[in-house]
Amino acid sequence: MPENTNPLNAPTPEGRLAALRELVAGREAAGGRALGGEQPPRTREVNCHVHTIYSFSPYSPAFAAERAHAAGLLAVGIMDHDSVAGAGEMREAGRVLGIATTTGVEFRVSATGTALEGRQVNNPDSPNILYMMIHGLPARSLPAVKRFLAPVQASRERRNRKMVERLNALLAQRGIEPIDFMSDVYGQSQAAEGGTITERHILFAAARKIVDRTGRGEPLVRFLRVGLGLALSSRIEGYLRDEGNSFLLYDLLGLLKSSLIEEMYIQPDDAECGPVADAVRFAESIGGIPCYGYLGDVTDSPTGDKKAESFEDSFLDELFVEVKRLGFRAIAYMPPRNTLAQLVRVQSLCAAHGLMEISGVDINGPRQSFNCPELLHPEFSHLLGATWALIAHENLADADERRGLFSPDDPLADRPLAERLAAYAEIGRAGG
């Protein structure tokens, strides 16, 4: 999993933050210079969707904040699956580095009983189940979020154990040593500290077992092709043939996720994926911003773990009507993932339905860049202001629940959404 030799991935939050403070102090003592040269100049970029070791990532919250800062970002948002355990560390890391932070959580819900029931929405692995996020979580709400997610995590762990058994049966036929759930999966996660275990943890363990069996380079490629019958793109094959590839297990994980997930996957139950309407109401009750994550038809996955497939685009108008009816306040999307035509359509529908637009680039692997230069293009520059509005919402709502961006008691509640976003963005940029 993470690079534990890096002090920013030390075993405890206290150790990681101490290492970060030491790093910053060293830079300040060197006149602001980083090892190897000048610090990169600040950009106007932001990223509201960075995963950490509390779901699946090579980065602790402190390490993720440092990587965002090193990339020149002005703000970074933690967005883990089914967990907010890293939120405090991320917030403190931001203070140490002088970079703004925001907190969110991503989880799955059931579309049963809605106009989206039975459809393949934004979840590649499950029809009738959709991903949603709660953005802008006030710090005071985190204990309630942890309680809300506890049964989700427990149900997911039961399902994970069964998926390990199913995957082991598949691997045993190819002479691969079985995965031990506690040592190879649970023990390599942050589950004991409030994190969650995802399918990526399981497949990362499988990748390690495969490499242990075959070695690197040509024997690995041959086993994947002949032993597992997998098709390799030229890009992935190049990575896997490189015997010095320091990201090998992550590259292999991406291949396994796009190729083997259907054979090992077990659909989540109602305890893990509750009704979407209940989740939206919960988000509103704690001062968070319920947000639907637009995926759109996929042609080439930027993370390398999604095959080409169709999702919401064929019924997008209908989806927006239902999302608005359910009480979602925002739509999240990732400019590098979709075409300009797809996102212009999403923007038009957001405007028509009065929905906030939030952007972030899904970071969960070491090859991904924290930068998103697309945000500087005229078509997406408004997303920068939206991030600062999100940060202001989080801080104001933490101090006073009536000051949330969508609170009916907010002094700006009667203003059009665009005016409210502009006012909150100004507060956010001023540090409010």
Instruction: Give the pLDDT of residue 27.
Output: 83
What are the residues whose beta carbons fall under 8 Å from the beta carbon of 50, sequence distance 6 or more?
A: 57, 59, 64, 68, 76, 77, 78, 79, 360, 363, 370
C-alpha count within 13 angstroms, C-beta hemisphere, residue 200: 24
Q: How far is CA 397 from CA 22, 140, 285, in A?
A: 32, 9, 12
Scanning the structure block, which residue is given the tokens 């919250």? 61
> What is the structure's pLDDT at 101?
97
Query: For 4-52, what is each residue's pLDDT tens digit?
Result: 679 999 999 999 999 999 999 988 887 765 544 456 677 889 999 999 9
Each residue of 149-170: pLDDT tens digit?
999 999 999 999 999 999 999 9
DSSP string, 56-88: S-S--HHHHHHHHHHTT-SEEEEEEES--TTHH
Residue 138 has pLDDT above 50, yes or no: yes
Mean pLDDT of 85-92: 98
Quick check: 322 pLDDT over 80? yes
Rounded mean pLDDT of 188-202?
A: 97
- The encoded tokens of residue 195 equal 């994190």
Instruction: Look at residue 51 in the predicted model and tell me its pLDDT.
Output: 98
Residue 303 pLDDT class (50, 70, 90 cuts)? very low
Instruction: Report yes or no: 355 and 280 within 8 Å, Cβ to Cβ.
Output: no
Provide the pLDDT for residue 308: 64
N- to C-terminal Cα separation, the chain: 36
pLDDT confidence bin for 302, thresholds 50/70/90: very low
Q: CA-to-CA distance for 220 and 204, rounded, in angstroms?
A: 15
Query: Model's pTM, two decimal places?
Result: 0.93
| CA nearest to 349, candidates 373, 381, 315, 383 | 315
Q: DSSP readout, 325-382?
A: HHT--EEEE-TTTS-HHHHHHHHHHHHHHT-EEEE---B-STT--S--GGGGSTTTTH
149: helix, strand or coil = helix
Q: Where does the pLDDT of residue 2 fall: very low under 50, low under 70, confident under 90, or very high at 90 and above?
A: low
Q: Is the pLDDT of residue 301 over 60?
A: no
Query: pLDDT (tens digit, 9 = 90+) per residue, 373-385?
Result: 888 899 999 999 9
CA angle 394, 408, 90 (to 5 degrees): 10
What pLDDT, on a 0 to 100 scale, did the predictor assign at position 426? 96
Whole-number average pLDDT of the chain = 93
Q: How high is the pLDDT of residue 305?
A: 45
pLDDT at 360: 86
Cα distances from 206 to residues 229, 250, 266, in angstroms, run 16, 11, 17
Indicate the pLDDT class of residue 354, thresholds 50, 70 and 90: very high
Name the β-bridge partners of 130. 109
Of 42-46, 205-209, 328-332, the poorest mean pLDDT is in 42-46
Residue 309: pLDDT band (50, 70, 90) is confident
Is residue 371 scored above 60 in pLDDT? yes
pLDDT at 169 (0 to 100)? 95
Provide the pLDDT for residue 1.
58
What 3-state class would DSSP assign to 200? Answer: helix
Residue 73 pLDDT more than 60? yes
Tokens of 110: 């059931």
Q: Write phi, then psi, for 132 (nearest 5 degrees).
A: -135, 165
Mean pLDDT for the stretch of residues 337-348: 94
Banded pLDDT at 409 (limits 50, 70, 90)? very high
What is the widest separation between alpha-carbon atoms in the chain? 65
Q: Is the pLDDT reported for residue 349 higher than 90?
A: yes
Average pLDDT of the segment spanning 338-348: 95
Cα distance between residue 362 and residue 35, in whole Å: 28
